[in-house]
Chains A and B, each alone.
Chain A
Amino acid sequence: MSDPLLRAVGLTRHFRIGGLLSPKTLHAVDDVDLEIGRGEIVALVGESGSGKSTIARLLARIYRPTSGEIWFEGREITNLRTRRQRLAYASDVPMVFQDPFSSINPAYRISHAIQRGIKLHRRELSREQRRVEALRVLDAVGLVPAEETFRKFPHELSGGQRQRVGFAQALAFRPKLIIADEPVSMLDVSIRVGVLNLMNELRAQQGVSFLYITHDIASARYVADRVLVMYGGHLVEEGPTEDVLARPKHPYTQLLVAAVPDPRAPLGLADAADTGEPPRVVDPSEGCRFAPRCPLAVDICRTVTPVRRELGPGRLAACHLAEPDELKESAA
């Protein structure tokens, strides 16, 4: 991608766990490269423990990477020194959180957090201007009448409304990229689509890019241009959404796509044997982390960690056995 908005190379994050007597390392994220372009919605898909939330926090600078670099608009932001630089990045790349019931401080009205954000990042605005801006973003996320929501306390709003407030808080910074960490997972099914539509609208009307993190690959299909699949801290597959879902190249992606319940399709019999045992990410050995579960695994899979290879335009997969597009059409 030429001139991406955000670029991460070799992103790695390890956590030390265990006590003094038996120290262990948890490899939450290992060697992930990713790019997000302007006005693009990229989905990061994976199960819990896959590292997707850690990537979100690395990109939002909540965690510092153990190794690797992050560039934003061509400048490296992995180690920002001054508070002003950090604030500038925080306003360009804010985050929306998963739990609508704990992502807003219950002690204050909705106006509080939005206006604080504006005050911190757009100092040039007067108090009245801040208020107008806050109302504008509440309106932009569909919380009308904005005046009413402005004055309410979080417990007076529904889960869907609170998530919209989360987006409003992010919009108040006039961001270029919003990192949305499972924004709809805790919402009712009938409300989810509304919030997903909101993301599409914001992208279309305001040109904001999104990194949409989710475990629900069907919702990823609904909003995302490109999808990145994570497993056990590794990025295992990447590509345009339709292509990845129609012709998944990595066995894990194939398993994921097959396991999604779809009432309109008949029940497949495959993979009932896979019980979903999680990968080993504590002091893992070399080799593919999916190998213990992979029906296609061969010796090399257990000893050599697969590298991401380009198998087509914009299509990458980390699997020793994946075939490039031109050579073979892998069976859907």
Chain B
Amino acid sequence: MAERLLEVRDLRVAYATDGGDVIPVDRVDFDLDRGEFLAIVGESGCGKSTLMYAIARLLGGGLPGEILGGSIQFHGHNMVELSDRQLRHIRWRELSVVMQSAMNALNPVLSIEAQMRDACKAHSTMSNGQIQARSEEVLRLVGIDPIHLKSFPHQLSGGMRQRAMIAMALLFTPDLVIMDEPTSALDVVAQRSLMMQIKQLQEQLGFAVIFVTHDMSLVSHFSDRLVVMYAGQIVELAETRQCFDAPLHPYTQGLLEAFPSIRGEKKHLTGIPGSPPDLRRPPEGCRFAPRCPHVHERCVAGPPPVYDVEGDLVRCVLYDRDREAVNA
């Protein structure tokens, strides 16, 4: 019943460093349906931000990296093959991006009104009157008094700035909004409020969300499905509730265990000792093996295949009992 909106197949991204080429996104596959909230979760260096930039076609230019291969099917186009001119039609109208820090993404010398006008003029032929009306409308949508159209970014609080960014992203009610850790600069209370606002807007306007974050617990109540990334690969992809109640991949299990709980019994946690592998020379076998509590020889022999365990995709040899690998 849900319509397929985005299909990412075999996506590979690389960038060059002093010590060799790094592949922060290594053959990633996933789908997204219309109106779905998908969270991409992982720690620093896992490639989640690069993946996000790749999907938004923001690589190259200032951001290092280029897409080596794979496809990104969106609205009948393969985004990887589109030219800049074609991308401009899609950007902001069908797909928009909310960055991590509003202070970095918003122009500090322009008022909110001016920035919205810029965005509207760049992607449409709206008249000034229409732009004004729409700007007021989106600000109201996110709970900001339209009087703040005249404000400058530094005059707004952190939470309001982030909501202004989201308002800008919704100017054309796109089908897909990609968010890169939009709450990480905010306090816990403002975070909670923003998440609920995003969820409410999503239900109201029907757009899909790809939400990139390092904080799993933040999305536990908001996302439909969850993608866990480690060292450039997807290690688990499942419905959110399923992922939290019964995480399959040892990394996901370790990650969930690493959050001290505010309720319930207090127990000793160990986190996941060690560090992720150097992506310039990724290991032959499972990339998590050096840190995995359940490792055995098959893990290091070769790359572990992906298995489907009751709807939960997991890249781990522990689940190979009588199962066929899913597109290796």
Chain A directly contacts chain B within the complex, with at least one CB pair under 8 Å = yes
Q: Are B215 and A275 in contact (CB under 8 A)?
A: no
Query: Which partner residue on chain A sits nearest B244 by CB separation?
Result: A263
Q: Are A278 and B157 in contact (CB under 8 A)?
A: yes
Q: Are A263 and B217 in contact (CB under 8 A)?
A: yes
Interface residue B279 (Cβ < 8 Å from any Cβ of A): no
Which of A30-38, A80-88, A215-223 lies on the face that meets chain B?
A: A215-223
A273 CA to B189 CA in the complex, in Å? 10
The answer to whether residues A218 and B262 also contact, given A194-B271, A259-B188, A263-B256 and a CB cut-off of 8 A, is yes
Interface residue B186 (Cβ < 8 Å from any Cβ of A): yes
What B residues does A275 contact at CB under 8 A? Answer: 143, 159-160, 189-190, 193-194
Pick the residue among B218, B254, B268 that contacts A190 (CB under 8 A): B254
Q: Are B157 and A47 in contact (CB under 8 A)?
A: no
Q: Are A193 and B188 in contact (CB under 8 A)?
A: no
A193 CA to B272 CA in the complex, in Å? 8
Q: Are B43 and A222 in contact (CB under 8 A)?
A: no
Pick the residue among B143, B218, B268 that contacts A261 (CB under 8 A): B218
Q: Are B266 and A276 in contact (CB under 8 A)?
A: no
Q: Are A189 and B258 in contact (CB under 8 A)?
A: yes
Q: Are A190 and B271 in contact (CB under 8 A)?
A: yes
A255, A257, A276, A277: residue with the most chain B Cβ atoms closer than 10 Å: A276
Interface residue B44 (Cβ < 8 Å from any Cβ of A): yes
A259 CA to B214 CA in the complex, in Å? 18
The answer to whether residues A193 and B260 also contact, given A47-B188, A275-B143 and a CB cut-off of 8 A, is yes
Chain A residues 241-282 with CB under 8 Å of chain B are: 245, 255-257, 259-267, 271-278
CB 8 Å contact bits of A209-242 with B (1 = contact, 0 = none) = 0000001111101100000000000000000000
A-B Cβ contacts below 8 A, count: 125
What B residues does A330 contact at CB under 8 A? Answer: none
Interface residue B269 (Cβ < 8 Å from any Cβ of A): yes
The answer to whether residues A274 and B262 also contact, given A47-B188, A194-B271, A222-B269 and a CB cut-off of 8 A, is no
Interface residue B273 (Cβ < 8 Å from any Cβ of A): yes
Q: Are A272 and B189 in contact (CB under 8 A)?
A: no
What A residues does B272 contact at CB under 8 A? Answer: 190-191
A215 CA to B158 CA in the complex, in Å? 16
What A residues does B159 contact at CB under 8 A? Answer: 275-277
Chain B: interface residue total (CB-CB under 8 A): 43
Interface residue A67 (Cβ < 8 Å from any Cβ of B): no
What A residues does B260 contact at CB under 8 A? Answer: 193, 196, 218-219, 221-222
Q: Are B44 and A276 in contact (CB under 8 A)?
A: no
A193, A259, A271: residue with the most chain B Cβ atoms closer than 10 Å: A193
How distant is A204 from chain B, measured CB to nearest CB, in Å? 12
Interface residue B125 (Cβ < 8 Å from any Cβ of A): no
A257 CA to B189 CA in the complex, in Å? 9
Q: Are B271 and A276 in contact (CB under 8 A)?
A: no
Query: Which partner residue on chain A sits nearest B221 by CB separation?
Result: A267
How distant is B313 from chain A, measured CB to nearest CB, in Å? 20
A265 CA to B117 CA in the complex, in Å? 42
B160, B254, B263, B273: residue with the most chain A Cβ atoms closer than 10 Å: B263
Q: Are A193 and B258 in contact (CB under 8 A)?
A: yes
Interface residue B110 (Cβ < 8 Å from any Cβ of A): no
Query: Which partner residue on chain B sits nearest A276 by CB separation?
Result: B190
Interface residue B270 (Cβ < 8 Å from any Cβ of A): yes
A196 CA to B271 CA in the complex, in Å? 10
A215 CA to B190 CA in the complex, in Å? 13
Interface residue B216 (Cβ < 8 Å from any Cβ of A): yes
A196 CA to B268 CA in the complex, in Å? 10
What B residues does A221 contact at CB under 8 A? Answer: 260-262, 266
Q: Are A260 and B188 in contact (CB under 8 A)?
A: yes
Q: Are B193 and A272 in contact (CB under 8 A)?
A: yes
The answer to whether residues A263 and B216 also contact, given A190-B272, A191-B271, A194-B271 and a CB cut-off of 8 A, is yes
Chain A: interface residue total (CB-CB under 8 A): 42
The answer to whether residues A264 and B263 also contact, given A190-B255, A276-B159 and a CB cut-off of 8 A, is yes
Query: Which partner residue on chain A sits nearest B190 by CB separation?
Result: A276
The answer to whether residues A261 and B215 also contact, given A215-B187, A222-B266, A275-B190 and a CB cut-off of 8 A, is yes
Q: Are A189 and B255 in contact (CB under 8 A)?
A: yes
A272 CA to B264 CA in the complex, in Å? 24
Q: Are A189 and B143 in contact (CB under 8 A)?
A: no
Pick the residue among B194, B215, B262 that contacts A257 (CB under 8 A): B262
Chain B residues 231-246 with CB under 8 Å of chain A are: 244
Interface residue B101 (Cβ < 8 Å from any Cβ of A): no
Q: Are A274 and B215 in contact (CB under 8 A)?
A: no
Query: Which partner residue on chain B sits nearest A293 by CB separation?
Result: B189
Interface residue A192 (Cβ < 8 Å from any Cβ of B): yes
Q: Are B192 and A261 in contact (CB under 8 A)?
A: yes
Query: Which partner residue on chain A sits nearest B144 by CB separation?
Result: A275
Interface residue A326 (Cβ < 8 Å from any Cβ of B): no
Interface residue B104 (Cβ < 8 Å from any Cβ of A): no
Query: Which partner residue on chain B sits nearest A246 by CB separation?
Result: B263
A266 CA to B244 CA in the complex, in Å? 12
A216 CA to B43 CA in the complex, in Å? 18
Q: Are B262 and A217 in contact (CB under 8 A)?
A: yes
B159, B214, B255, B258: residue with the most chain A Cβ atoms closer than 10 Å: B258
A310 CA to B22 CA in the complex, in Å? 58
Interface residue B220 (Cβ < 8 Å from any Cβ of A): yes
The answer to whether residues A263 and B193 also contact, given A191-B271, A221-B262 and a CB cut-off of 8 A, is no
Interface residue B202 (Cβ < 8 Å from any Cβ of A): no
Interface residue B17 (Cβ < 8 Å from any Cβ of A): no
6 contacts between A and B (CB under 8 A): A47-B187, A190-B255, A193-B270, A218-B259, A276-B187, A276-B191
Residues of A that sit less than 8 Å from B by CB: 47-48, 158-160, 188-194, 196-197, 215-219, 221-222, 245, 255-257, 259-267, 271-278
